[in-house]
Amino acid sequence: MSDLLELDASAISKSTLATPLAWSKLQLQAQSGFGLPQEIKRSQSIQPRPRTIVRSRSVSLIDSLESADKSSAQRQLLIGELGCGKSTYILQSIAHTLSAGWIVLYIPRAISFVDSSSPYAYNAALQTYLQPAIVDHLLSAMLEVNRKALKQVQIKESLSIDNKEVFASGTTLDTVLDRALKEHNSPLTRQLVLELVWSTLAKQSEVPVLVAIDDAQVLFGPTRYRNPDFMPLQAYELAVPRSLLNIFIAPREDAGLKRGAVLATISMTHASFPAPAELLIAMRESASAENAAVPWNRVKQIFASPTCPTRVSEPHAYTEVDPQSLANARNAQFRLVDVGDKLTRPEAASLLHLMSRENALWAVPDDEIFIEKLVESSGNIRSFEQNWRKSLV
């Protein structure tokens, strides 16, 4: 598999449609630092060389990112059936932007922010619940993956805690992160550093920034964390989700990412975390507009499918919603992008040839079985690949 081209800033184009590409060393470093969705981690573990396939939607997403490089940021929400490749499109976008010199913040499992798997503690000064373990991981991953690019960005305001200056104005972001991890163990200090770094990235225009989030639906609903009265906390009551929402996802009208893009997906793998009513209402309002890119009937088809583990009903007038979460979902102003395109024959043939080279097939398939498997999977890339791996033909 050493002959595969690597996915760099020029690799995804109309001329490379249906071409298999290997992840670059830079991308593999990012995957190691930030982590991966569990499904992709499992699939890559059985690949001799982790790779991906260029699809038509890959090209359009990269084109939109290149436009975002030169203008104010767009917030795009990728939707589509289970297994259509939403997380893979995110990874392709990360690989492209990293090789183009962008700064990347990647959150592969936003569910880990709300599933009560990490310690948390209330802080009266910030009036939120701190999540020190999550913050530590984000700080170290951002530094590991973006060290070179972070040297180009300086903080514009000093950071002081208890009337003591911790970081002076003009300090580069790589220095801020490095010193925060080495010298400051306080959860409060590290949370403030995280907010300082993120707000600096949002306001600056020297280097484009990609914020990529899988499982973004969890930012707009209840969590598994509890308050002292044992009532579920909303996502915006936790420090890290609140920072994401306020700085990147649902900022004030005059705030948000100045240069770059936000890419988010709604996961359909985790039945315990379906799309909340608040987000569905915001999507319905967006998709019901006259010139909506994705009509509401298509959105309903995706989220109400009987085969979807996270299927939900359309919210109605009596659906209970959290007012702040609903406001956040509306303020996000996501542009819906339907990535549920079916595999084309050239894409499926390229993937099958690649699997054959990886010795993932029991026998050499013929054209009749190829078409049969493509129809059987309804053009779903995950189903197509899994069907072949399970087949004795």
Q: What is the pLDDT of residues 229-246, one digit of tens each?
A: 999 999 999 999 999 999
Q: What is the pLDDT of residue 207?
A: 96
pTM for this prediction: 0.95
Q: In this predicted model, what pLDDT tens digit does every residue of 112-148 receive, in sequence order?
A: 999 999 999 999 999 999 999 999 999 999 999 999 9
Give yes or no for residue 185 having a pLDDT over 90. no
Q: 393: which 2 tokens?
A: 């033909």
pLDDT of residue 67: 84
Reported confidence tier of residue 343, pLDDT bands at 50, 70, 90: very high
Helix (H, G, I), strand (E, B) or coil at 283: helix
Arithmetic mean of pLDDT, 98-103: 96
The percent of residues above 90 in pLDDT, for the chain, comes to: 82
pLDDT value, residue 391: 74
Mean pLDDT of the 208-228 span: 97
Confidence of residue 307 (pLDDT cuts 50, 70, 90): confident
Does the pLDDT at position 98 exceed 90?
Answer: yes
In the block, residue with structure tokens 């793998």 = 269
What is the rounded end-to-end Cα distance, in angstroms, of the chain?
Answer: 24
pLDDT value at residue 65: 92
pLDDT attached to residue 70: 67
CA distance 85 to 290: 28
User: What was the pLDDT predicted at 113?
Assistant: 98
What pLDDT is recorded for position 72?
A: 62
Q: What is the pLDDT of residue 383?
A: 93
Q: Checking DSSP bridges between strand 335-338 and strand 128-130, what pairing results, if any?
A: unpaired
DSSP 48: S
Contact 130, 239 (CB under 8 A): yes
